[in-house]
Amino acid sequence: MIHYIVRRLLMLPLVVLGVTFLLFFLTQRLSPEMRASLYVKDPRQMGSLEEVIRQYGLRDNVFKQYGRWLGNVVKGDLGYSPSANMPVSQAIKEYLPATIQLAFVTILFVVFFGVWFGCGSAIHKDEWKDIVARLISVGGFSLPIFVLGLLLLMIFYGQLGWFAPGGYSVYTDMIIHGGAFKTYTGFLLIDSLLNGNLRVFWDVLNHLVLPAVTLCIGSFALMVRVMRSSMLEELNKDYVRTARAKGLSKWQVVYKHAGKNAIIPVITLASIQFIRLLGGTVIVETIFDYPGIGRFGVIAAQQLDIAGILGFSLMVAVLFVLGNLLSDILYTAVDPRIRLE
């Protein structure tokens, strides 16, 4: 097992190198002048472009430039992001926790309701409960995120005013950037509780609800289907018959025996979805103006913020490998065949 984790971790640099080099290579399609102009704020200084190019070695060959960037990354310097107006590493530190928070709440929803509906659907196969769950699942699956997001925003913010869109309220902004608010984890939901400030907690939660619900729908629909088919498959197996023959209760047969086997594909799906959410909440964060890393990535891409784009992709690649590792470790927790082999 440890052997396996080490092997997975050894893959990490390879994936990161591959992804970043590809992107780096693509950015080289821009002329050195264009790249240099990103660092010149004042049009009157355009004459100094040549100086910038020389200073940062923008005319060197790709490998040399990439090597230089990589060297800086190893030292912890991801460069300066003009679009966020701060160093890339600081931008990640500032925006990533909000996205992780969003992804986490979303995946909790997805797993909880997905497993619940999926199991119910399987147990009551072809009864009305199953049909309702399948309808919701098909509906959710075919509803594009941007449509749902805008609809929710229209109804719950525009009409009813129950939930706010992204961005925190002025009060929250003032508190969290004020001196008295201590940052423990970077996750505002947790930090606000640790600071004992319930108002900030509710405010953050309020801003989370709509984006989380929007993100949920597609993953939820998929989760219901996977859980349902996996449960149906397990319920047909011989060991379930044995469990019934032993005189166990229906609850034990379904959840302890079949459930523990049926949950295995759900774990894979949940971790894939979680990773996808971390790097892919772009649309939702844009619709709801949610201060997360996806929005940072979009803005960086729109403004040709090369350092920002590279930093963002580097982060996504690392999260991707770590997320897969996490899912493998979760696997071993439920499946002894993997744990012991």
Partner 1 sequence: MTQPDEPILEVRNLKIAFSTEDGLLPVLHGLSYTLPKGRVLGVVGESGSGKTVHALSILRLLPPTARITEGEIRYRGRNLATLGRAELRKIRGNKISMIFQDPAASLNPVLAIGEQLTETLLAHRKMSKSAAREKAVKLLEKVGIADAEKRLHEYPFQFSGGMCQRVMIAMALALEPDVLVADEPTTALDVTVQAQILKLIKQLQQQSGMSAVFITHNLAVVAGIADDVLVLYAGLCMEYAPASQLFERPLHPYTQGLLNSLAPVHRKVEVLPVITGHPPVPGALPAGCPFAPRCPFVFEKCRRECPPLFEENGRRTRCWLREGK
List interacting residues with partner 1 (CB under 8 A).
237-239, 241-249, 252, 256-257, 260-261, 334-337, 340
Residue 289 near residue 166, CB atoms below 8 Å:
yes
Residue closer to partner 1 by CB (options 25, 239) is: 239
- The span from the CA of 139 to the CA of 304, in Å, is 37
Closest approach of partner 1 to the CB of residue 258, in Å: 9
Q: How many CB atoms lie within 10 A of CB 194?
A: 15
Residue closer to partner 1 by CB (options 45, 236) is: 236
Q: Which two tokens stand for residue 29?
A: 């399609």
Q: Which two tokens stand for residue 9?
A: 């971790």
Residue closer to partner 1 by CB (options 172, 261) is: 261
Interstrand relation of 86-87 and 80-81 (parallel, antiparallel or unpaired): antiparallel
Nearest 5°: CA angle at 157, between 152 and 162?
105
- Kindly list the distances between the CA atom of residue 197 and the CA atoms of 112, 191, 288, in Å, as whole numbers in the listed order: 28, 9, 24
Q: What is the DSSP letter of 46?
A: G
Residue closer to partner 1 by CB (options 54, 260) is: 260
Closest approach of partner 1 to the CB of residue 327, in Å: 17
Closest approach of partner 1 to the CB of residue 328, in Å: 16
Closest approach of partner 1 to the CB of residue 3, in Å: 19
Residue closer to partner 1 by CB (options 264, 304) is: 264
CA nearest neighbour of 312 among 30, 100, 89, 101? 89
Q: Which two tokens stand for residue 45?
A: 């200084």
CA nearest neighbour of 276 among 331, 223, 207, 204? 223
Closest approach of partner 1 to the CB of residue 272, in Å: 21
- The span from the CA of 291 to the CA of 269, in Å, is 26
Residue closer to partner 1 by CB (options 289, 335) is: 335
Closest approach of partner 1 to the CB of residue 231, in Å: 14
Residue closer to partner 1 by CB (options 84, 115) is: 115
CA atoms lying within 13 Å on the CB side of residue 222: 15
Closest approach of partner 1 to the CB of residue 213, in Å: 33
Structure-token match 């166990």, residue found: 248
Closest approach of partner 1 to the CB of residue 341, in Å: 9
Residue 262 near residue 227, CB atoms below 8 Å:
yes
Residue closer to partner 1 by CB (options 55, 249) is: 249
